[in-house]
């Protein structure tokens, strides 16, 4: 039994998945400045990129996750909505002020500070 067509098909699928992931990461990285600028327009003073993108587990369909200081709940919700619109990615915003101190330190330590 020749299983080489199966193996070739598996390798091709893996290649396509790797390419799609690399394209998704590149697209997300390009979108970060526009998303962060939208957060700033809504009052964010300090912004960290957190979640799958800086962790290296971003996949097609993943969202952009941010922690930000200086926004009310309403501002954060509006900022996330605008950031999604301008970036082309779903965006989640966590208010740094609402985090448990340990989680806040975690995000500040392991997240990527975003300068716009």
* Stretch 44-65: mean pLDDT: 95
Asked if pLDDT for residue 8 goes beyond 90, the answer is no
Collapse the DSSP code of 93 into the 3-class scheme (helix H, G, I; strand E, B; otherwise coil) and give the result. strand
| pTM for the whole structure | 0.86
For residue 50, the domain's CATH number is 3.30.460.10
Say how many CA atoms lie within 13 Å of 83 toward its Cβ: 32
- The number of distinct structural domains making up the chain is 1
Domain range for 56: 4-113
The whole-number pLDDT of residue 69 equals 96
The whole-number pLDDT of residue 116 equals 56
Q: Is 100 exposed, middle or buried (0-12, 13-18, 19+ CB in 10 A)?
A: exposed
Asked if pLDDT for residue 53 goes beyond 80, the answer is yes
Q: Give per-residue pLDDT as tens, 77-110.
A: 999 999 999 999 999 999 999 999 999 999 989 9
Residues shown for the chain? 116
End-to-end CA distance of the chain: 59
């Amino acid at each position: 039994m020749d299983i080489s067509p199966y193996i070739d098909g598996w390798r091709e699928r893996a290649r396509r998945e790797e390419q799609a992931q690399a394209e998704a990461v590149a697209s997300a990285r390009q979108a970060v400045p526009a998303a962060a600028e939208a957060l700033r327009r809504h009052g964010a003073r300090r912004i960290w990129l957190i979640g799958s993108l800086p962790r290296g587990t971003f996949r097609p369909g993943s969202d952009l996750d941010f922690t930000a200081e200086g926004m009310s709940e309403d501002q954060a919700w509006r900022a996330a909505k605008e950031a999604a619109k301008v970036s082309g990615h779903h965006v989640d915003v966590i208010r740094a002020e609402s985090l448990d101190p340990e989680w806040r330190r975690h995000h500040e330590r392991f997240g990527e500070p975003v300068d716009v």
